[in-house]
Structure 1
């Protein structure tokens, strides 16, 4: 296992990355997935109702969008104090909206991303309006997200429908050479209703494009550790090269969470020996669950002259008869079609992962 010292020179964790540090599920200790349960990460989210008013004062009773629409601020949903950024719940003409501050540096980039998708995206939440003087975007309000809704023990058919629609959103992005870079369950937005017959899904869209990037063919994103550390691809941990396959790897982890209620790369403090980084455990698990010899070799070639290569090599060489790999393909209690889909999306060699469109055509999604 890599030590804290081994990883510190790579500056592996940003401030944002540590938000889930204490919200982990127990480490997998054998090939059997644990019986479904509510992970601590979800329990914490459930207790933190996003519709509850923040203690922060609202700095305005309303804003006027570029469209001329008047948005009445009802409450503060989220707040970051440094730098000061707020997310508001607002209403206009009896409709619900989210007003979200985006850093001025990213304002035009996000506008460009939305313009590229305009008219051709049905499964991606796009900007409804803008408030340029406040560097705010206006989005349609969704009542829930997958991170929380999964805890209702959804029928498999409903879960498949949600995942397939989210995957359609990824495909719409990738068709325009846009990479989301932050695929995770709470970015899968859902409107649903409960009927006598059960939960009915009304709409699913992929949200939170603030970190999305247009990456032209033949190019890659390098130098940024994109996304949340529990849902990142191996190459995203290594700061690139990142492209569409990175979204696919992350989406596979979302699928595992949705179907088996397992946040498989969450790491609890009780699991760490002194001086060991959580990210070292994550990388070990990624190799253990998803890397074979060919995939890992292709991955290291993909990284090229990258300072993270020795980290993955040392971790690879740490497996032995006392610390064997535990491939996902051998996990018990997992549907074989689902295994096949996940393994195709998590091939350690990014160049060999299936695409979003190929995943949509997979047998596991046939009845969704």
Structure 2
């Protein structure tokens, strides 16, 4: 849609659902603190119901851009650094995005052909963002898309800002391979099938497991029983650890960066602020 100055924007309005109102409130809280969140432009006051917000329009999203042409190394660093900067701001106040994935990262393109094709990168779709001390988080409510979600989310245990870091790591892997690739996408079942989430967790376990023994400190008996069953389903000889992926497939420095992020125990993952200081962003 265009406004009176012929500037395009996105209209969001959903009757009887809190996501739009929540996105408005979250953006009002954070958008002045970082240029890397897709901002709220305005809100339609008449009619007051349902809540209707106007968001900045960007030309594309990261999923579509990666399908059109896989990102080069500099582009991956450029994009992911800005996503981390957005996450570091909301995490500072204990907020969790819950749905970090390529089609929620919006981009504009440079007019001239350069090593990095993007002029703007903004993380969007904050309708499902909640504080880590909210009932959503502390009760282990399922959030986000399973193939981008952390193990603790899929197993419906309490989650916090560290779940965004897992999703961020999954994003990095996706961009390294290019296109619509997702390392955890099940090959034998479809989204919505009863066993879909289980297949996702099994893939997470195959690449980045096992869970360390110290998880007994944070998971209840029911969850621990589920983990034991998972270990029985995937014996050591059937695992395909990401650390063994060859340099022909993923460059050594990229593989090591991913391994610093993707820990099954959320307490072992670095924060967004820590990742922003990682040497990987300076590797050519």
**Same-fold call, TM cutoff 0.5:** yes
Counterparts of 2:267 and 2:3, CA distance in 1: 45
Matching residue of 2:208: 290
Residues 145, 186 of structure 1: 8 Å contact kept = yes
Matching residue of 1:112: 25
Residues 302, 349 of structure 1: 8 Å contact kept = no
Residues 145, 190 of structure 1: 8 Å contact kept = yes
Question: How far 1:166 moved relative to its partner?
Answer: 1.2
Counterparts of 1:230 and 1:164, CA distance in 2: 22
Question: How far 1:343 moved relative to its partner?
Answer: 1.7
Matching residue of 1:55: none
2:11 is the counterpart of 1:99 = yes
2:248 is the counterpart of 1:330 = no
Write out the 4+ residue segments of structure 1 that deviate beyond 6 Å after TM superposition. Answer: none
2:126 is the counterpart of 1:213 = no
- The structure, 1 or 2, with the larger RCO (C-alpha pairs under 8 Å, 6+ apart) is 1
Cα distance change, pair 114–154 in 1 and its aligned pair in 2 (3 A): closer
Q: Could you state the TM-score of these two structures normalised by the residue count of structure 1?
A: 0.68
Matching residue of 1:127: 40
Give 3-state SS (helix, strand or coil) of 1:265's partner: coil
Matching residue of 2:182: 263
Give 3-state SS (helix, strand or coil) of 1:182's partner: coil
Cα distance change, pair 235–94 in 1 and its aligned pair in 2 (3 A): same
Residues 140, 153 of structure 2: 8 Å contact kept = no
Counterparts of 1:90 and 1:313, CA distance in 2: 55
Aligned CA RMSD, in angstroms, stands at 2.5
Residues 31, 37 of structure 2: 8 Å contact kept = no
Question: How far 1:208 moved relative to its partner?
Answer: 0.2
Residues 102, 210 of structure 1: 8 Å contact kept = no
Residues 76, 175 of structure 2: 8 Å contact kept = yes
Cα distance change, pair 104–130 in 1 and its aligned pair in 2 (3 A): farther
Cα distance change, pair 134–93 in 1 and its aligned pair in 2 (3 A): farther
Question: How far 1:161 moved relative to its partner?
Answer: 0.4
Looking at secondary structure, tell me which structure has more helix per residue. 2
Cα distance change, pair 310–340 in 1 and its aligned pair in 2 (3 A): same
Matching residue of 2:220: 304
Cα distance change, pair 130–192 in 1 and its aligned pair in 2 (3 A): same
Q: Can you list the C-alpha shifts for 1:59-105, whole angstroms capped at 9, x where unaligned?
A: xxxxxxxxxxxxxxxxxxxxxxxxxxxxxx44341211000114555
Residues 104, 135 of structure 1: 8 Å contact kept = no
Task: Say which one has the larger Rg.
Answer: 1
Matching residue of 2:99: 182
Question: How far 1:221 moved relative to its partner?
Answer: 3.2
Structure 1: where are the runs of 5+ without partners? 1-88
Q: Can you list the C-alpha shifts for 1:125-153, whole angstroms capped at 9, x where unaligned?
A: 12111123331111000111111111213
Residues 188, 204 of structure 1: 8 Å contact kept = yes
Residues 117, 176 of structure 1: 8 Å contact kept = no
Looking at secondary structure, tell me which structure has more strand per residue. 1
Matching residue of 1:84: none
Q: Could you state the TM-score of these two structures normalised by the residue count of structure 2?
A: 0.86
2:232 is the counterpart of 1:313 = no
Cα distance change, pair 327–136 in 1 and its aligned pair in 2 (3 A): same
Residues 188, 206 of structure 1: 8 Å contact kept = yes
Counterparts of 2:129 and 2:2, CA distance in 1: 25
Counterparts of 2:282 and 2:274, CA distance in 1: 12
